Structure 1
Amino acid sequence: MNIFSFHQASDVASAIALKHSSPSTRYLGGGTNLVDLMRETIEHPDTLVDVSHLSSTIEQGPDGRLSIGAGVKNTALAANDIVRAQFPLLSRAILAGASAQIRNVATVGGNILQRTRCRYFYDNAARCNKRESGAGCDALEGFNRYHAILGASQSCVATHPSDMCVALAALDAEVVLDGPEGQRRMALRDLHRLPGDRPDIETELKPNELITSVEIPSHSFGQRAVYRKVRDRASYAFALVSVAAMLDVDEAGTVRDVRVALGGVAHKPWRALTLEGRLKGEKATAENFRAAAEAELADAVGLRDNMFKIELVKRTIVAVLEELKGEKA
């Protein structure tokens, strides 16, 4: 690990100013990803700016909108009474991720901005366009069981590892950003980029911008939610496939509204907008769920080791929506 300096920012403005002072400065939340990357010599910051304490509140407005500080620990968010009662999808997704020890330290902002766990990204001896633009991608012909089937390119087939972000994408969450040009917000599902020919550019963040909070609108059917994570072992494993879903069905059995997001399948949390559009106004049947899943996965492309994911995603979507259909309103 290289020598670096450490600063604890006193407020958001000072954090942005410190970050602006050097291009190799990094914001530090819980450090559960960044410190690993430094230890593996993937990241080489000369300065760390600790922002973990700047925004650590969870507040709900009169309209039901939930504001979550970027410094809130994952454990605290999952255990929050409002989150558990009104946004159970988020709580369940967080508890499906990592280990209790990591959740106790990891922050919301850091979780959103964590980098891929692709083994070739972590291996300095391997070719990786995400680590070094133009180097090539050894995952294309290597061990790619965990890699992307949607939105990938010949430059990169890595997946985003977060469970929490999949739930946030389904919940229509927005991220609130602060930077040298002032404050702005964007939908979380628009924050992460698909790889194209520049997988090293991972988000739509402007230089030196800082995530200060995440906001989630109230959903009338938000309590009818399922997060299902399919993985190789029961705990402390990244998703082969995950599905975050909410479903609202009327008395006649017709889908009034639906939200579905997928994890483990793309460079970003994948909001299943095609599926949602196909299902709204249709009968909530297994046949329609399957047809909508087929439409969503129409452009999926498997690799040598992960072709099975395409069918696995479809079956998991159908199983989750069938489970939700059976829940009482």
Structure 2
Amino acid sequence: MFVRSVVNTVMRAIRVKEFGSPEVLRLETNVPLPKPSNDQVLIKVHAAGINPVDTYIRSGTYAAKPTLPYTPGKDIAGVVEEVGSNVRHLKKGDRVYTMSATSGGYAEYSTAASSDTKLLHSNLTYEQGAGIGVPYYTAYRALMIVGGAKPGETVLIHGASGAVGLACVQIAHSRGLRVLGTAGSQAGLDLITKNGCDAVFCHRDEGYATKILEATNNTGPNIIIEMLANVNLERDLTMIAKKGRIVVVGNRGSVEITPRLAMQKECIVTGMLLFNASQGEMDEIDAAVAAGMRDGWIKPHIGKVYTLEQAPNAHEDVINNKGAQGRLIFRVSSE
């Protein structure tokens, strides 16, 4: 058994009582504190990451719908307040991050499965810790596991200035790939250059695909990590190298493509969803991320910080930004 160490019995948290627009995100001040089970921990949330999937769930368009009412958010970083009776590898006071907040991350406290809760290295702030989970685990699985990236290959990261894109840049750079990246603004281009891109291209410019081909001696990149397939997939097929791999990480609609392009290139086009990862793959990613934090090449870039009161604005911005620049987070506690 554990002894409850938290004095408070209620907390501030975002609650969603009906699916709909961002306005359904309501801050409540008397939400009961969640209780960890024997295999869980209770985390005092210092920062919570904002993912596009959070908006799909909130709108009611996501395949898996939570039971109403619920608190959104899976990515958090903070301090362990309590541990369940079966938990041995974590203790009260540990700095941690998780992408599996079971009671919802947009809150002052959240429970999480202890097996999915990892130590946050002292190299990183809590805000950066809230930027690790979904972005870096998605990026690693897309690039290294599904994409099969190898040192010396060339990768094009489409939409490299967003949270997942920047994680891809840092991972690819650390693994010895030649990294090409696109962004939609000069600030975004500067950001991805700073984070390890060898060549950058504005995807708003006419003819940017030709410039990418020229940068690869007209052979094309070996791998393309695609964040917006409904806009870019046909173009990707014209750019990809023969026997190359296109990994679709993001998509917001349908697209018409020319299959003959895939035939000519004999390329692979595959989708990637992080939550299809096997336990073995997750163990590999855990080890890689821990090494990246220790060695200093994992550096989440925080694009904008919100309070919980600003949750509707945050959900609007994560979808309708005019050029992503890193991770959007809630700062929940500064203690």
Shorter-chain TM-score tier: under 0.3
Bigger share in helix:
2
Bigger share in strand:
2
* TM-score, structure 2 normalization: 0.25
* TM-score, structure 1 normalization: 0.26
